[in-house]
Amino acid sequence: MYMKSKIHAKSQEKFLSNLLRSFGQDIGIDLGTANTLVYVKNRGIVINEPSVVAINTKSRQVLAIGQEAKTMVGRTPAHIVATRPLVNGVVSDFEVTEQMLKYFINKVTQRGFFHHWKTRVVVGIPSGVTEVEKRAVYDATRNAGVREVYLIEEPIAAAIGARLPIQEATGSIIVDIGGGTTEIAVMSLGGVVISKSLRVAGDKLNNDIIRYIRTHYKLAIGERTAENIKINIGSAYALSESMEMGVKGRDIISGLPKEVKVNDTDIRKAMANSIMQIASAVKTSIEETPPELIGDIMERGIILAGGGALLKGLDILITNTTRIPTLITSDPLTVVVRGTGMVLEDLDSLKELLIPLDINKKPNISI
Ligand code: ADP
Ligand code: MG
């Protein structure tokens, strides 16, 4: 009899919580250094925009966020700056990060007390961030009106998104190459065995290209041009066919516009040092991995994620450096946000993979 009423009470509780949940929304956010993606349950990925904010430095007013702000990069008058609030994977400008998060969350949430009240958000953040920065992201999300906020390390979210069996007694390794950071994580039994966060990733490669073209062709180019070159003809490993493209910029001697032709060998040379740093960090992680897990990893392969995974020939280079087959996860730019969405589907059993935050219980703590 007692058992029966207990079961009854439990099912009533479940019914009530499901009913309340139907008012709210489940939202997953990949707060990347280059791109912010937002997933909403039952709707899929609804936002995929650059993590850029344009600010008027005189009035401190935010002028544009996302794609609109990115097109302003390098084109703004002196008092307008287009900044990336998450430089190098850390929250360098809290106020701007907060505005950006608020803007994206408000864009996808429905209005009304009940909606915000029952909205749950899982945010993926780089693994190298400090307690203060975690707190900053947490606060920013709460200030956007969300009651339940959970944080997850990006490589874990990426591994979940890539459907790696990270909760089983087997080893997996994921390498997430974003804009500001490269994150490497070896995982097993729901825990991170080895983790590395490197501040060498896509942005550094763009800067390498800018510097190389300046030195060798005496041509000044901007970041967006450098990124285009990287995506079009950049490679980590010599490919069977050579590639070439015309690059427009300003001659640094005459100050006049000029176009030069660059090829894949040039660009490979420009990026070689940074790419070796990424490959060496992967190799070191493998060397530090306990032998039992190495066997599993050799079978499963090294999984590449993040936009940097798309760099041509990077998988081949890492295979050659580590002697372990390396694969690119499908759709590497969205894997983190898809992972946060999968966490929301099964929050109860995956809770142990989230960053433990006492602040979930004590929201009024001050730091
Ligand atoms: P983050 O998680 O830090 O926001 P992303 O995973 O969104 O970063 O990846 C962004 C980076 O990936 C940028 O540096 C971008 O230039 C790079 N990228 C995107 N597509 C390609 C490509 N096809 N080849 C090489 N790099 C790429
Ligand atoms: Mg990322």
Higher pLDDT pick, 107 / 184:
184
Q: Counting atoms of ligand 1 from 1, which one is nearest the CA of 30? A: 2
pLDDT band at 356 (very low <50, low <70, confident <90, very high): confident
CA of 201 to the centre of ligand 1 (A): 8
Distance CA 97, CA 65 (A): 11
The model's pLDDT over 22-48, given as tens digits with 9 standing for 90+, comes to 557 899 999 998 999 999 999 999 999
The model's pLDDT over 345-354, given as tens digits with 9 standing for 90+, comes to 988 888 888 9
CA of 341 to the centre of ligand 2 (A): 15
The model's pLDDT over 141-164, given as tens digits with 9 standing for 90+, comes to 988 888 899 999 999 999 999 999
Which ligand has an atom closest to residue 86 CA?
1
CB 162 within 8 A of CB 174: yes
The model's pLDDT over 312-336, given as tens digits with 9 standing for 90+, comes to 999 999 999 999 999 999 999 999 9
pLDDT band at 60 (very low <50, low <70, confident <90, very high): confident
Distance CA 142, CA 15 (A): 26
Q: Counting atoms of ligand 1 from 1, which one is nearest the CA of 35? A: 4
Starting at the edge strand found earlier in the chain, the sheet holding 191-198 runs 191-198, 182-188, 172-177, 302-305, 326-328
Q: Which residues line ligand 1 (CB under 6 A)?
A: 32-35, 178-180, 202-203, 227, 230-231, 306-308, 310-311, 333
CA-to-CA separations, 180 to 80, 96, 357, in angstroms, rounded: 23, 17, 25
Backbone angles phi, psi at 95, to 5 degrees: -60, -45
CA of 8 to the centre of ligand 1 (A): 51
pLDDT band at 367 (very low <50, low <70, confident <90, very high): very low
Q: Counting atoms of ligand 1 from 1, which one is nearest the CA of 34? A: 4
> Which of 212-218's residues contact partners 24+ apart within 8 Å by CB, and which partners?
212/266, 212/267, 212/269, 212/270, 213/247, 213/249, 213/260, 213/262, 213/270, 214/252, 216/266, 217/247, 217/260, 217/262, 218/251, 218/252, 218/253
Report which protein residue has its CA nearest ligand 1's atom 7.
35
CA of 79 to the centre of ligand 1 (A): 28
Please tell me the predicted confidence (pLDDT) of residue 363.
46
CA 136 remoteness from chain centre: 17
Please tell me the predicted confidence (pLDDT) of residue 251.
98
CA of 34 to the centre of ligand 1 (A): 7
Backbone angles phi, psi at 240, to 5 degrees: -65, -35
For residues 19-39, b (16+ Cβ closer than 10 Å) or e, as one string?
Answer: eeeeebbbbbbbbbbbbbbbb
pLDDT at 127 over 90: no
CB 239 within 8 A of CB 312: yes
